[in-house]
Chain A
């Protein structure tokens, strides 16, 4: 059962709200984690861990550093969910 981008975005919004206290409505695809959402590398790890629980997709540290925007994570989750 494939997730749509919108479903992933909503799930990601909930995670980012919980981990970093950024309201979910501010989590939009074009936003960058570091500059726009003020999320640091440790919070990114927490987001990756929560994303694994929520979407069943593992995001290793060496992949995580390349995910700069919300859309990057959405693409990664969608691709990995398909190949899984």
Chain B
């Protein structure tokens, strides 16, 4: 049997982010549930979030972010032969989101699948994309994290409606010939299925539920070793990191992990302040916005860390173009 010829490594060519137009402030939420701007800012770190329009779909947001990443990559749609959409909030069980998104972006007949690792989804999908390029099963991959969590929120439940939001982020992954140019490090991933009941949506008629305190305890104790291991596998010391972009779950979780990671030079993503928790979209969205502001130097190590329902988690070191 003949096998595919792979490449020496993979790197991210370009980023793209999309946020819905509608800004929902804490004060607006405080009109319908008993909470306050001060309470939300101090507990989760969010000042405002974006919520999709009633007719705006996960696919719409994925197309917007994916289109930006594709345009910025310099590749044409025909160069992409695999599209992965990380999402836990697709409108339908079937068909998947990825195939429609590919068609709308003019990408002809690529491999296309959705993947659900909840808030860890982007890091899982990025690892899949990197491996596909390295093994030669794909030439170039479009990876998108897109979520419309607002349609799964009980707007009378103040433990969740203050947190979750909508958005999308995307990257284009391409091969490199020289391993020294590789820009996606080895993934460290895992799961804790014994904690499946800590964050869930029971069925299609239910809303998202989260046992916040248990998740907080887990996230602030179990994740910094994963973050350190991802650095170690990439041969990067945490002190060398120029940025740390964890899933934007809660600013206090982000800060606690950052403190325990020990990366004094790293700019720590705080995109949650104006984006809310957008699950699989949060990491690429935060990255694309940090890049737009010129906050991440090209070629320097950046640590990504996704974690959420399942429980699933994954982290890897990358470099940005």
Residues of chain A whose beta carbon lies under 8 Å from any beta carbon of chain B: 40-42, 45-46, 48-49, 61
Contact = CB atoms under 8 A, between A and B. Distances in A.
20 contacts: A40-B42, A40-B43, A41-B213, A42-B43, A42-B213, A42-B216, A42-B252, A45-B213, A45-B216, A45-B217, A45-B220, A46-B220, A46-B256, A48-B217, A49-B217, A49-B220, A49-B221, A61-B213, A61-B214, A61-B217
Contacts of B43: 40, 42
A45 B221 CA distance: 10
Contacts of B214: 61
Chain B interface SS verdict (over half):
helix
Among A40, A41, A45, A46, residue most surrounded by chain B Cβ atoms (within 10 Å): A45
Given A45-B217, A46-B256, 14 more contacts: A40-B42, A40-B43, A42-B43, A42-B213, A42-B216, A42-B252, A45-B213, A45-B216, A45-B220, A46-B220, A48-B217, A49-B217, A49-B221, A61-B214
Contacts of A45: 213, 216-217, 220
Nearest to A65: B213
Interface of B: 42-43, 213-214, 216-217, 220-221, 252, 256
A45 B43 CA distance: 12
Contacts of B256: 46
A50 B33 CA distance: 33
Nearest to B211: A61
A50 to B, nearest CB: 10
Nearest to A53: B221
Contacts of B213: 41-42, 45, 61
Contacts of B221: 49
Contacts of A41: 213
Nearest to A64: B213
A38 B318 CA distance: 39
A26 B181 CA distance: 54
A56 to B, nearest CB: 15
A49 B216 CA distance: 11
A18 to B, nearest CB: 9
Contacts of A48: 217
A41 B217 CA distance: 11
B211 to A, nearest CB: 9
